[in-house]
Amino acid sequence: MQITVRDSVDLLVAGGAVRGCEIALAEQKRGAKVLLVTPFSYFGEDVCAYLKLHDIPEFLAKLGVTAPARPVQIKYALDRVMLENRVPFLFQTFVLGVQGDCVIFANREGLFAVRARAVLDTTPFLTAAHAGNMPFEPFNPGKYRAVCRALVSCEEGEAEYMGEGKFYRLEEKHTEVELSAWQEDAFFRATLEVRNNCWSPAQFQSADLVEFAGLPAPMEDSEKWIFTIDQYRGIQREAVSTAQTVAWDVSRTRKADIVVTGGGTAGAAAAIPGAQAGLDTLVLERLSHLGGTGTQGRICVYWFGLKNGYTRHLDEEVRKAAMEEEVSKRWPSEPKQHVWERENISAGAAVWFNTFCCALEKEDDKIVSVLAATPMGGIRIEAAQFLDCTGNAELARLAGAPTEFSAPEEPAYQGSGMCPVVLGKNYSNSDYMFTVDDSTQDVSRAYITGRERCAAYFDVSQLPGTRERRRIIGEVVLTASDFYAKKHYDDTVALACSNFDTHGFTVAPLLLFHPTDHDPYIAEIPFRALLSPGVANLMTTGLGISAQRDAMPLIRMQSDVQNQGYAAGLLAAEAVQSGRELRRIDLAKVQEKLRAMGFFTPDCEIPESGLNQDAAIFAAPDLASLRADFQKAPDFEKALRLALLGYSDGAELLKKAVSSQPWDDGWDYRGMGQFGKSVSRLDAAIIALRNFAGDAAFLMPRLKELQPESQFSHFRAVSLYLQKHPSREAVPELRRLLGAFECHAKEDLASLLDAPFEGLTDVAERNFQLRELYLAGALHACDPADELAKSFLERYQKGVHRLYAIYAGKWGK
């Protein structure tokens, strides 16, 4: 394959080890062009990933880090020194291989190459050095010593750390393990065996990596241009090629029956049924542990969701591992992480950590293989069935399946945050930013922002707590209207239950007309919502399933996603065992197995409400009756419902109401704890009137009333209308409003340092940013030549917030 050469540098540092960061900084100060790339979500993995927090390297000491250190203290210090000195870097970017004078990488944006005069490999597994054929001592199969570290609870007199009245110390356990080969299956099997043998219920946080002693060391090579830390001799090679692409092909292949991409809430469960059936099942997980949001994300609580099906079994196993009386609401992350790993080991699944699925091969309508970047480099994995449990439809997108992402229409996106690891507490939650999982830069921004805000804690989660992501457009698209109307599907494979925890604002016509309440609702998840048209052997689970964005708050609860993942694994196993394609399996047979496990037995009572009746109208409107009812007795509510359904019978009535009434009570942007309305009645009418052609005369009285401190929903409604129906008359008022704001775009990662914030549920900055974006879009639509609008939109388009850049870019086309 031909790989694009993205950049040419003097020194490429692969891995974010402390000494590598120090060398990168020194070389940059000497005038060299440097790039620092790590597969981790942080720098300092040689210390933090192993929890080696007692022996602080000299470079960290100079940055003010003291022993025993806190992991976030190290990560934060290295973030700052890299940003302050403008050293370019990429987080979560994986080495695939080496070709000529280039290193091949993979991340969320795809495959690319970086040409370098010298490469310093500081990755924990020396991935680039191995891929570049640097000479190593021979590998000898046999017993290897391993060290597993964890922060454990202890008595006060032994404590090195404390929080919330509890005491902790670092514990180091030594063991031996059989390592039969230097390849993924053997290495990760040994890793899981060490973790299982060293497990203790006293663990509060375990190391990301197990430390192995005696692995083959690199040998001296006078001709090399790839160095390890101990052998680094500086930038010596003078000339490198100038080709814009490099030819590279993966040389290694592994075969499996089922491949699960992503070992999070769905993926950790999805591998189990196939492995239990004796099928070769392989899990590819980007992070160092299983469990995703409920372990690495520190969201160790069920908000809502059903506790039936596989989740009932899982909760019981976690309860026993944690030695607690009850975990059906909250759990410690370490016992759940341990149970996930033990369940997969016991079932016979192979789990590869620190592995990123970055490309695939497809023949006709079937995926033939995926390309994975592992600590040992690139490898092609062939399989019969594939499960996309990335939560972001990453594999579906690579397969060319249709997907959707909400941002281009408007930045209506559920809030996210990086949760702190708080000593003495198993659970934390946050909502202070928007994060687009598609983008390496945006996720990097999330990591940096999270460590900025959580620098006082012990550590910070490794997952941006995103609640909305890219989704497939499947064979059926789930909607909020269908859910609240209690739509039944014959191919249901799981249930979901939640109240509408939206973490932001809604866009569905039903929810503009009838906001949700706090009551929970049950939704059916049909098989077809996991299937992508044009791909015969792929299912997508979790936040990536086929659903409109306003349906997601009802179906993204962890207990339900666990069940959904298990059901998908059972469906994949049935396809492999029967030799049939997914769409031709005996679905009734699988449903019967799920029924026997209690998958279709709700464990809560669901009340009736007026939302059910309105949902039924929006899901399947009887338009003739609705229109006749309006003609018989016209009023605002009937006119609004018709307008939201796309009918103009009451448009004049709505315009009159908007033009004659002062602003009603609107809504300011809120993330955490947002329930109910996110627009006022006048806001909803203005948004509904976008469906029809017309001028903006009726809107001008309300636009003139707006002040910079007015509620966000009013800005949104007016801007949405004017973006679709531009008016020169509105330009002076829009300029007045936009001119009252300072642009809150963040133009580079360094600008995130020392930014003011109001805690882990901060909305202040987002309220400014959203007002500015909507206003600038409206002003640009009304006057494409307006320089004020252009300046705001350009700054947001070039800024580091990917969600804002996508939306602002809409107006730059």
Q: What is the pLDDT of residues 284-332, one digit of tens each?
A: 999 999 999 999 999 999 989 999 999 999 999 999 999 877 777 889 9
pLDDT value, residue 407: 65
Structure tokens at 750: 């360094």
Q: β-strand 377-382 against 385-388: which pairing, if any?
A: unpaired
Give the rounded distance of the alpha carbon of 244 from its chain centre.
31
206 by DSSP, 3-state: which?
strand
Gap between the Cα atoms of 751 and 797, Å rounded: 15
Nearest Cα neighbor of 300 from 558, 70, 498 is 558
**Does residue 695 surpass a pLDDT of 70?**
yes
pLDDT of the residue at 677: 94
> Is the pLDDT at 222 greater than 70, yes or no?
no
- Report strand pairing: 2-14 vs 245-247: antiparallel
Provide the percentage of residues in the chain whose pLDDT is more than 90. 89
pLDDT 10s digits, 166-202: 999 999 999 999 999 999 999 999 999 999 999 999 9
| pLDDT for position 517 | 81
* pLDDT higher than threshold 70 for residue 453: yes
For the beta carbon of residue 796, count every other beta carbon within 10 angstroms.
Answer: 29
Interval 448-477 mean pLDDT? 94
Whether residue 469 is predicted with pLDDT greater than 90 in this model: the reply is yes
Lowest mean pLDDT among 209-223, 331-345, 387-401, 480-494: 209-223
CA dist 380 and 382 (Å) reads 7
Higher-confidence position of 755 and 167? 167
Q: What is the pTM of this model?
A: 0.96
Of 755 and 455, more confident: 455
CB contact at 8 A, 34 and 28: yes
Tell the burial category of 198 from Cβ atoms under 10 Å away from its Cβ (0-12, 13-18, 19+): buried
User: Which residue carries 């932001």 as its tokens?
Assistant: 504
Average pLDDT over residues 608-617: 87
State the DSSP code for 416. Answer: B
Beta carbons of 629 and 638 less than 8 angstroms apart: yes
